[in-house]
């Protein structure tokens, strides 16, 4: 553990105030100059509250609170600094690398509990020629909107007890903080994954609900050009080509023009991790036409994709009722940022309880930190067909 100069930290707090001190700690934690594990709750309490006050936490001293001779102890410095440490640990767990899809979609701030996002239906570029001296024609715009789902709030409380300070159980408090961050991050990731795999369908365009995926061509796109589900197993580059052709055939529902988005990312299950990297990172590909004796070698054209895997996605497919042997073959190709988003009322936020609360007397809880976030996973834009799903062979 690094040597934290607590006295200097307390002097900075007294001289420059809580905002500058907390900001300094936040920057040091974000830069990796300090880690939550570098701190000691007892030493921090001794520096900010005084050693005598900390010793009074021992019941043998005849007092079970932070009150001495009827005088309330100012917990502000201790709770503010501890709060920054707890928040850093929560965020570390909330943003861990295992939450793949959370990093592949955009977070859209919103002040609404589900909202109607208005738009203007695109017009075709087939407009009349304007001859010299003639007026330009006027064109109307079709109404266009999507309805996003209602948001939900989730959160937990991390308590710091008298025992945690007196016995210096800093690691226990940080472990609880990490569990809070992990659970909140896991829940967000699972909601996004359920939308990705089609287990949840909350897409509503012009007041009509639609499934995210279709294998029949029915839907709102003209001439049924809304197929974004297939059953090819990922074996070689030809399966990727099949998904790309499906993606290229999807049309904008207003204009009948191709969807103007390039597929950028492929998500696979753990069982096909190495197969995917072999396909996308191969130096060259081979092709032999049916009935032809000629084999063609060419440079691999698939190097512009980002390939990711998700163990959580695999488990969510199984949880949706699909056999494990089949679930491991699922894969997705497309532009995830164009297809999905997380509608966020507020990001994960940590607040602290007031000093000398009822919980301090009843439960020996010196200070509590509440972590919460509110949002919803949503299909975004008027056309969710920015991702192609393949469920593997035989489905």
Per residue in 11-46, pLDDT (tens digit) is 888 888 888 888 888 888 888 888 999 999 988 888
Q: Is residue 154 part of a domain?
A: no
Please report the pLDDT score of residue 71 as a whole number: 45
When pLDDT is averaged across residues 182-187 and rounded to a whole number, the result is 96
The whole-angstrom separation of Cα 96 and Cα 347 is 15
Buried b (16+ CB within 10 A) or exposed e, 37-47: eebbbbbbbbb
Is residue 292 in a domain?
A: yes
Q: Assess whether pLDDT exceeds 80 at residue 361.
A: no
**Cα 68 to Cα 236: distance, rounded to the nearest angstrom:** 74
Residue 122 falls inside a structural domain:
no
The pLDDT mean for the chain works out to: 84
Let me know if residue 322 belongs to a domain: yes
Which percentage of the chain shows pLDDT scores above 90?
42
pLDDT at 128 over 80: no
Q: What is the pLDDT of residues 107-121, one digit of tens each?
A: 999 999 988 877 655
Say if CB 54 and CB 45 are below 8 A apart. Answer: yes
Structure-block tokens of residue 332: 């997705």
Which whole number is the average pLDDT over 388-392? 92
207 Rama class: left (phi>0) / alpha (psi -120 to 50) / beta: left
Higher pLDDT, 57 or 195: 195
* Locus of tokens 């309330």: 72
3-state helix, strand, coil in the chain (%, to 5): 40, 25, 40
Instruction: Determine the Cα–Cα distance for residues 226 and 246; give it in Å rounded to an integer.
Output: 9
End-to-end CA distance of the chain: 54
- Give the separation between CA 394 and CA 261, rounded to whole angstroms: 29
Domain membership flag for residue 194: no
- pLDDT at residue 270 in the model: 96
Which of 12-26, 65-79, 136-150, 198-212 is the least confident region? 65-79
41-48 and 6-30 are packed helices; what angle lies between their axes, rounded to 10 degrees?
130
244 φ, ψ to 5°?
Answer: -65, -40
Tokens 């894969």 belong to residue = 331
User: Measured at the alpha carbon of residue 44, what is the angle toward residues 43 and 50, in degrees to the nearest 5?
Assistant: 80
Q: Is residue 129 part of a domain?
A: no
Task: Flag whether pLDDT at 183 surpasses 90.
Answer: yes
What is the distance between the alpha carbons of residues 42 and 166, in angstroms, rounded to a whole number? 6
Residue 324 lies in a domain: yes
Average pLDDT over residues 75-101: 91
Contact status, residue 285 vs residue 343, Cβ threshold 8 Å:
no
Is the confidence at residue 1, as pLDDT, over 50?
no
- Distance of alpha carbon 115 from alpha carbon 148, whole angstroms: 5
3-state secondary structure of 378: strand
Residue 148 has pLDDT above 70, yes or no: yes
156 within a domain of the structure (yes/no): no
Residue 232 has pLDDT above 80, yes or no: yes
CA distance 2 to 37: 9
Supply the pLDDT for residue 67. 44
Residue 3: band (very low, low, confident or very high) from pLDDT cuts 50, 70, 90: low
pLDDT, residue 68, reads 47
Q: What is the pLDDT of residue 284?
A: 84
What pLDDT is stored for residue 356 in this prediction?
61
- Per-residue pLDDT, averaged over 278-286, amounts to 87
Instruction: State whether residue 312 is helix, strand or coil.
Output: helix
Long-range CB contacts (within 8 A, 24+) of 221-228: 221/250, 221/251, 221/252, 221/253, 221/383, 221/385, 222/251, 222/253, 222/256, 223/251, 223/256, 225/249, 225/250, 225/251, 226/250, 226/251, 226/253, 226/385, 228/334, 228/385, 228/387, 228/388, 228/389
Which range of residues forms the domain containing residue 234?
Answer: 221-341+379-390
Asked whether the beta carbons of 353 and 370 are under 8 A apart, the reply is yes
Q: CA-CA distances (angstroms) from residue 303 to 94, 239, 247, 297, 299?
A: 31, 15, 18, 16, 10
Question: With bands split at pLDDT 50, 70 and 90, how would you rate the model's confidence at 195?
Answer: very high
Residues 6+ apart with CB under 8 A from 384: 203, 210, 212, 339, 340
Count of domains for the chain: 1
């Amino acid at each position: 553990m690094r040597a934290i100069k607590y006295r200097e930290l307390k002097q900075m707090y007294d001289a420059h105030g809580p905002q500058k001190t907390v900001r300094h700690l936040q920057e040091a934690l974000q830069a990796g100059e300090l880690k939550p594990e570098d701190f000691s709750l007892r030493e921090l309490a001794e520096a900010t509250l005084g050693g005598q006050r900390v010793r009074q936490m021992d019941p043998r001293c005849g007092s079970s609170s932070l009150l001495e001779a009827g005088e309330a102890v100012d917990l502000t410095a201790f709770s503010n600094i501890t709060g920054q440490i707890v928040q850093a640990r929560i965020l570390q767990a909330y943003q861990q690398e295992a939450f793949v899809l959370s990093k592949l979609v955009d977070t859209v701030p919103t002040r609404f509990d589900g909202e109607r996002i208005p738009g203007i239906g695109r017009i075709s570029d087939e407009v009349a020629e304007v001859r010299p001296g003639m007026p330009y024609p006027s064109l109307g715009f079709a109404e266009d909107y999507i309805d996003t789902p209602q948001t939900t709030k989730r959160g937990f409380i991390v308590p710091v007890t008298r025992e945690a300070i007196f016995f210096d159980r800093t690691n226990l408090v940080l472990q609880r903080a990490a569990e809070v961050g992990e659970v909140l991050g896991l829940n967000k990731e699972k909601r996004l994954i359920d939308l990705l795999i089609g287990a949840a369908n909350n897409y509503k365009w012009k007041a009509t609900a639609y499934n995210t995926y279709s294998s029949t061509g029915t839907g709102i796109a003209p001439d049924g050009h809304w197929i974004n589900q297939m059953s090819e197993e990922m074996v070689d580059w030809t399966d990727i080509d099949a998904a790309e052709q499906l993606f290229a055939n999807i049309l904008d529902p207003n204009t009948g023009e191709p969807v103007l988005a390039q597929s950028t990312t492929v998500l696979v299950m753990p069982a096909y991790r190495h197969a995917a990297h072999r396909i996308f990172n191969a130096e060259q590909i081979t092709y032999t036409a049916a009935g032809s004796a000629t084999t063609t070698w060419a440079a691999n054209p698939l190097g512009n994709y980002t390939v990711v895997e998700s163990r959580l996605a695999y488990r969510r497919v199984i949880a949706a009722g699909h056999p494990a042997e089949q679930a491991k073959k699922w894969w997705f190709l497309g532009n995830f940022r164009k297809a999905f988003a997380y509608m966020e009322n507020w990001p994960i936020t940590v607040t602290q309880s007031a000093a000398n609360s009822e919980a301090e007397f009843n439960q020996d809880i010196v200070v509590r930190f509440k972590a919460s976030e509110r949002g919803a996973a949503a299909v975004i834009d008027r056309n969710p067909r920015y991702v192609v799903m393949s469920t593997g062979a035989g489905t």
